[in-house]
Structure 1
Amino acid sequence: MSLVSPSGGPVTASSGVRLGPTVAAEGLGPIDTLVVPGSPALPQGRIDQALLSLVEGLAGRAARVASVCTGAFVLAELGLLDGRRATTHWRHAAALSRRYPRVRVEPDVIHVRAGQCYTSAGITAGIDLALALVEDDHGPRAARDIARELVMFLRRPGGQSQYSTALSGSAAPDSPLRAVTEAVLADPAADHSLNTMSRAATVSSRQLTRLFRTELETTPARWVEQARLDRATQLLLDGLSVTATARRSGFGSDETLRRVVARQLGTTPTEYRQRFTSTASTASAQNRTGAPVREDS
């Protein structure tokens, strides 16, 4: 990996962190993936000409080009996103769309691949994008192993609302499971019985079960339950009631949701929301008492 800047040498980020040493473009060899980071100045139209020239030259040599957060403004300014789908941080999506009407901006996705151009949403979405690139290059198992090591979600199917998915949630692009898992993640509350998923994958129930065990190292029922639990936890943090969360996540009843949350998370839906809605309130309570806070539902 190489850090590149228009003139080389150390670079100070907007946060004050010094990066480097960077190299000038002349010192680079072949480029597989060019990644353009974001900056607070980019949505305001302050795009340095030297930076544009650098990215333009490097993009012409790269096998693929990606941006993180507001780095999409650089790619759009160079016309690399014209006629393509793209995303950026939700706060700046409207500005990207207004300034570059030829770009098909999608403000509610984590990352987008359009040909050999990749764009991602907020800063941490760059990790999601990196996992997707690893999956493209080395397959879903490698990406899944890295996600587990980082304690990361392998794929978040929702949008900027930060819906998560199971760590084991990615099947190979050409696998019969791909359409099945994407359907579950898109609508966890729908009918995802073994027979329904088998028909969608056009394989027998026995073959579907074998595929889940081989590719995702779990069973269909456990995978669906995990996807529903991931959706349920986000709905709880979004402020929905336990009843509404149970219905919209696919668990159906409050009791089923409570049973799954207790078994997998060791808590109750109400406790989960209270603990994670505000880290500040939990931390301050711990500081006052010297012990973790227990919140009864």
Structure 2
Amino acid sequence: MKLTVLLLTLLLIANAAYAELNKELNRETNKELSKKEAKPTIIALSPHIVEMLYDIGAGEQIIGTTAFADYPEQAKKIPRIGNYIRLQLERVIELQPDLIIAWKNGNPSDDLARLEQLGFNVIYSHPQIFSDIAKEVRHFAKLTGHSAQGERVAKKFELELAKITMAYQDKTVITGFYELWSRPLTTVAKGSWPQQFFNICKVKNPFAQVITPYPQISIEQVLPAAVQVIIQPLSVNQKEREGFNWQDWPMIPAVANKQIIQPDADAMHRMTVRSLTALKDLCAAIDKTRTILQQKHN
């Protein structure tokens, strides 16, 4: 009887010890799972990077950004740690992000070099054409733990881009002028982001072959081109901006025919999924101009 009681006691002790060991193993396993599932905190140093991260489901991981990151609406609540001229390095150090995504051409290079020297993980966004957006969506999605959604977003983007391109590939080419800025009058050429809008919408840019991507020109250079449509993007971030006063030049066909299109500059100039909506809208507006011109010609 005593032996039975002793064995029963030892068995209970062993079961208790085994249960405790299982609890400990489960705790360690859960810790490892948490580490694997943890999404990195991010400082996104451009409005287009912020927008792209929201598109892939990583918006809530952003803990700092720069001025003008205002889309989508919830992006306005993200703390600001600088602008395209200067970053607040002490704020970055204080926030201790797991990842910094910077804009290759839009952030102060000396500040970025300093952050790299301090050991921060800095990667770069550098989209130059529409197809680069899909590549970056996939890349950022993988880095932030959203690969599945990133793939869905990228694939949808690629299909929509192909659809728009095909819809306008056989359209009659018309001559257009792109007003990037009014004072001084600045346009676009090959190598610029907006030039691809003209290429897809089938608009001839008389300044396409200028060496610099964003040349400053005079109105006297525009007049001989017989421009049929003027693209004058405007931004909500530039409410004080005055567009070029084209009404002073009625001899330009686009002015005479009232063919001045004013798209959303933010949607067009930010290298994001939303730029396809801007492309689709612009091509449709230009197609209306094309129809008006054909009717006048007939």
In the superposition, the TM-score normalised over structure 1's length comes to: 0.25
Structure with bigger gyration radius: 2
